């Protein structure tokens, strides 16, 4: 059975495994090689099952382990053309390594990976929708300035979705970040707030996407409890009952044994 395994999530690093125990892909490699390998092992997964790494964008928390991980495990890297160029400029790709541009969809083994463009302050950021061998689909959608119609449509076609719930707006506004950084996070090129995420989750559940996870929480401007309660309250206002009408988890910032079958 296919599952999503949140290896790491948050401002210090992001990596997700999507697939079966025998076949899957990594979405981002935002921790070092050893940490990612250990997190895979803790979840009963082998690096030999990874067909490729798909990178959403070139920010450090999404690619810091990419060069060593892909060189050691002989893995290809796929991303948008802009992201690949930015990764190369930052020396995140090893010389002679296999890379490929994903423009729309890419069949890889028995899986299909679809690129969905995102609004973020990066070269050419995107997120990915992954269809498993059994035909079920999951999507990891983080680092969003806002939820576009393209992202919303792609999410609504999934059985499982990870959606960014980065910050509590009041915590961010009253917190220690300098004003330019606060402005960037709150902009259409920044990150999705708890409130904005909650509204989208209500739409998803009403449309039939019932297995959900909150991702990329800020350690400084959010807490797992705050993010979860914001979404649960919004869904309750829409008449949807937590753990009855839908499931909702929080992706961990640090490695743990946690996966969701979809």
Left if phi > 0, otherwise alpha if psi is -120 to 50, otherwise beta: which for 44?
left
Q: What is the pTM of this model?
A: 0.96
pLDDT digit string, tens, across residues 166-202: 999 999 999 999 999 999 999 999 999 999 999 999 9
Residue 94 φ/ψ, nearest 5 degrees: -85, 145
Distance CA 82, CA 146 (A): 20
Q: pLDDT class for 255, splitting at 50, 70, 90?
A: low
Q: What is the pLDDT of residues 198-226, one digit of tens each?
A: 999 999 999 999 999 999 999 999 999 99
Q: What pLDDT shows up at residue 142?
A: 98
DSSP codes joined into one string, 220-234: TT--HHHHHHHHHHH
* Predicted pLDDT of residue 225: 97
Within 13 Å and on the Cβ side, how many CA atoms surround 160? 24
| Spatial separation of the C-alpha atoms in residues 226 and 103, rounded to whole Å | 36
57-92 core/surface letters (b: 16 or more CB in 10 A; e: else) = bbbebbbbbbbbbbeeeebebbbbebbbebbeeeeb
**Radius of gyration of the chain from Cα atoms?**
17
pLDDT value at residue 257 = 60
Give residue 262's pLDDT band: very low, low, confident or very high (50, 70, 90).
confident
Write down the pLDDT at residue 133: 87
Give me the residue label for tokens 């709150």. Answer: 186
Strands (E), the chain: 3-8, 15-19, 24-27, 50-54, 77-79, 99-101, 105-108, 111-117, 126-131, 137-141, 160-164, 211-215, 247-250, 260-261
Contact 242, 27 (CB under 8 A): no
Q: Round the average pLDDT of the chain to a whole number and report it.
A: 96
Amino acid 253: pLDDT: 87
């Amino acid at each position: 059975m296919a599952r999503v395994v949140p290896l790491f999530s948050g401002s210090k690093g992001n990596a997700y495994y999507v697939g079966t125990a025998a076949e899957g892909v990594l979405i981002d490699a935002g921790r070092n090689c050893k940490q990612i390998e250990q997190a895979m092992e803790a979840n009963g997964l082998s690096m030999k099952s990874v067909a490729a790494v798909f990178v959403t964008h070139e920010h450090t928390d999404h690619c810091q382990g990419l060069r060593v991980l892909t060189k050691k495990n002989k893995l290809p890297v796929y991303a948008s053309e802009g992201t690949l160029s930015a990764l190369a400029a930052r020396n995140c790709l090893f010389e002679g390594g296999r890379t490929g541009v994903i423009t729309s969809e890419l069949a890889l083994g028995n899986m299909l990976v679809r690129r969905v463009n995102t609004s973020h302050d990066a070269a050419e950021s995107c997120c990915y929708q992954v269809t498993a061998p059994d035909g079920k689909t999951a999507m990891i959608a983080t680092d969003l300035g806002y939820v576009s119609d393209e992202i919303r449509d792609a999410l609504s076609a999934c059985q499982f979705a990870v959606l960014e719930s980065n910050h509590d707006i009041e915590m961010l506004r009253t917190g220690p970040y300098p004003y330019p950084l606060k402005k960037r996070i709150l902009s259409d090129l920044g990150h999705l707030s708890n409130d904005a995420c909650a509204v989208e989750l209500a739409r998803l559940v009403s449309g039939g996407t019932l297995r959900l996870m909150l991702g990329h929480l800020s350690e400084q401007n959010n807490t797992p409890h705050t993010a979860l309660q914001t979404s649960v309250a919004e869904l309750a206002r829409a008449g949807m009952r937590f753990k009855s009408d839908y499931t909702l988890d929080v992706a961990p910032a640090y490695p743990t044994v946690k996966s969701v079958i979809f």
